[in-house]
Structure 1
Amino acid sequence: MSKIIYSLLTLLLFSSCSSDSTTPTPSPTDTAYFPPLTGDVWETKSIANLGWKQTAVQPLLDYLALKNSKGFIILVNGRIVMENYFNGHSATTPWYWASAGKTLTSTVTGIAQQEGLLNINNKVSDYIGTGWTSLPLAKENLITNKHLLTMTSGLEDITNGDAVDPAHLTYKADAGTRWAYHNVYVKLQDVVASASGQNWPNYFNTKLRDKIGMTGTWLQVDNNSVYYSTTRSMARFGLLMLNKGKWENTTILNETYFNEATNTSQNINLGYGYLWWLNGKSSYHLPQSQLQLSGSIIPSGPNDMYMALGKNDQKIYVIPSKKMVVIRMGDAADSVNLALSDFDDVLWQKINALYQ
């Protein structure tokens, strides 16, 4: 992290809290909990009250510390069961979401659509004008907002790196015919800004962040808009998505869009929704690869899990069948810095040991 970014972050104020509520497959009568929008109060439930195995806690914590973790939280039905910080990190320290923050962009795009400001099936150029790529106009006009949400824009994903200026957005295939992980999704932030008449951070803060009590900020880092927050703020967003876009009795994101976002969005990469990764599918593609791999992305993880995954192992795991959200922030667990690595599979083996 550069000194400039670090100094900016130290000026920001973030909320904090502590730990202890529910079971791996909670009773239907166990009501969902949502922490207040302000303050440090967050209900907890102990490992013992859940009937989980206390002997499995320390091996999990040891593994997290060994693998360069900084923040770790497990929520069950909204209550904190585990909250731990490592390697000099604390509950009030902001950290970057990396590509896990793509799911924030997906969610806010859905909010803008439900407000009637945009339609994800419309072409991108309807909102930000033509010439946003270097493609011939006929090819550029094939690219819709939905293609950006599903990583099927057809734009070159390797040669031009992460740059998203027109000169670096070049043709590889027709939109909708090829899945490739690409930074061009950030153009959705421009779409939302144009459609709403507000800048992206203001619209995001008003429509999502402040409504669920998150803290944090967007910073521009290497051609990318990166979100920084505390671990608890990441957990709040995970809790919103566990509850299908609702915060208590308030609908933040409508359930129709939520369901589209957290299910297979196209027929090329079955393990991908609207900027969400999906576990338990019969096959998947990884970033920077056109190989189709058989089986589930994280074999040891629950099949119904949907995931926000970022560089250097930033993680939001949402598991509806267990009413569980798991958050991991930190440095790269291993020398592999992609969003997905063997770390996920081993981590889930150790989480499973808590209740299996």
Structure 2
Amino acid sequence: MKTLQKSLIILLITILASCNKDDPKITEIIYFPPLIGNTWETKPITNLGWNPAAAKPLLDYLALKNSKSFIILVDGRIVMENYFNGHDASKGWYWASAGKTLTTTVTGIAEQEGSININNKVSDYLGTGWTSLPLIKENLITNKHLLTMTSGLDDTADCVMPNCLTYKADAGTRWAYHNVYVKLQDVVAKASKQTWSNYFNSKLRDKIGMEGTWFQVDNNSVYYSTTRSMARFGLLISNKGKWDHNQVLNENYCNSATNTSQNINLSYGYLWWLNGKSSYHLPQSQLQVPGSLIPSAPNDMYMALGKNDQKIYIIPSKKMVVIRMGDPADETNFALSDFDDALWKKINALYQ
């Protein structure tokens, strides 16, 4: 019996020793780059069993389509990192509306710290008169309505001053893409007794080693950073709000943010876009379109989408984060474009 046990132990050791640590079938521990410095582990696409011949057509397409940068992470490691058209790793670029998801995240952090409740009305924090609505209608609007784009405010003007925020429907009964979400930054600032930037920096940016800054463009608050900083944020959210051993954002909120948040636009969470749903609405439209947002992309993908094709794609089933920054691929657009579907056909060629 002892001889048999010894033989089995030797066999097990031999099998484990023969395993290639780069075998794509072996589950990798998620990697997180250090908070300070530019060190970031890489992993060649050949070690994933991907097709290296598909990389050049993808990169040629990105360069042709006015891209500035492109990153793919798998298990947190950089699989592809490329810069185009004079851009490089040290240069920043604007997130546009992809940065809405930063507001989502910090709102969740403020709630977990007890500063706010997303189910409370906005006027609890900003006071009454932050819109032009009758008080009974204004008091229907909660922080969650701002997170889900269901405030009911008229979306024909981007202005977020009280005189521009007029009634269109009762809160919760109409989905419409609107810059009024930015009022959540005021809610967090008021509740925390800090500026939005200071709270954001201490509670999110610095905890995951991001670099960047906020600046105002018309009535919107826009974030500006390097591509790797955007990738760090994508990695945090892909790991359910946990950075290494630090739970920056609680998992329950992260799950709610990246799943359908209301029954009007099934492809929208808390300022995150969701792929693979049965229908969707687009900005500046009340039309319900059947089918998935990006048919060629994985159904479980969720996205931060910004004007002129700023992209964070997160694919849980592949433990993958994809970042694209740059000028508009074709013409100016608000969030989604034909570029997304064409790009994903080329990304798919890497691993299919």
User: Shorter-chain TM-score: which interval?
Assistant: over 0.9
Show CA shifts across 1:251-301 (max 9, x none): 000011011100000000000000000000000100000000011000000
Q: 1:69 aligns with which of 63, 67, 70?
A: 67
Would you say the 8 A contact 1:43–1:79 is kept in 2? yes
Q: Does 1:314 align with 2:330?
A: no
> What CA distance in whole angstroms lies between the structure 2 residues aligned with 1:241 and 1:92?
23
Q: Does 1:167 align with 2:196?
A: no
Pick the aligned partner of 1:60 from 54, 58, 61: 58
Which residue is 2:188 aligned to? 192
The counterpart of 1:86, out of the listed 78, 81, 84, is 84
Q: Which amino acid aligns with 1:40?
A: N
**Closer, same or farther: CA 190–28 of 1 in aligned 2, 3 Å:** farther
Q: Tell me the distance in 1 between the aligned counterparts of 2:213 and 2:97.
A: 15
8 Å contact kept, 2:258–2:302: yes
Task: Give the match's secondary structure for 1:190.
Answer: helix
Asked if structure 2 preserves the Cα contact closer than 8 Å seen for 1:22 and 1:77, the reply is no
Within 5 Å, give how 1:36-55 maps onto structure 2: 36-55=34-53
Contact kept, 8 Å, 1:22 with 1:76, in 2: the verdict is no
- Matches for 1:206-225 after TM superposition, within 5 Å: 206-225=202-221
SS at match of 1:146: helix
Q: Select 2:143's aligned residue among 142, 145, 152.
A: 145
Cα pair 2:307 2:332 within 8 Å, conserved: no
AA of the residue aligned to 1:246: K
Normalised to the residue count of structure 2, the TM-score between the two structures is 0.93
Structure 2 SS opposite 1:48: helix
Task: Give the aligned length.
Answer: 332
CA deviation digits over 1:40-65, x for unaligned, max 9? 11000001111111110000001000
1:203 maps to what in 2?
199
Instruction: Specify the alignment match of 2:11 in structure 1.
Output: none
**Which letter does structure 1 place at the counterpart of 2:269?**
G
- Cα deviation digits, residues 318-341 of structure 1 (max 9, x gap): 000000000000000011412100
Distance 1:251 1:66 in 2: 39
Structure 1 counterpart of 2:177, one-letter code:
Y
- What secondary structure, in the 3-state scheme, does the structure 2 residue paired with 1:191 have? helix
SS at structure 1 position matched to 2:351: coil
Deviation of the 1:22 alpha carbon: 7.3
- Report how far residue 157 of structure 1 moved: 0.4
Within 2, Cα distance between the matches of 1:299 and 1:283?
Answer: 11
Q: Which residue of 1 aligns with 2:278?
A: 282
1:178 aligns with 2:146: no
Aligned counterpart, 2:119: 121
Q: Which residue of 2 aligns with 1:136?
A: 134
The unaligned stretches of length 5 or more in structure 2 are 1-20
Asked if the contact 1:22/1:79 (under 8 Å) is kept, the reply is no
Larger Rg: 2
1:346 counterpart = 2:333: no
Percent identical pairs in the alignment equals 80
- The residue identity in structure 1 corresponding to 2:97 is S
The equivalent of 2:8 in structure 1 is none
Match for residue 331 of structure 1?
327
Measured after TM superposition, the shift of residue 29 of structure 1 is 3.0
Unaligned runs of 5+ in 1: 1-20
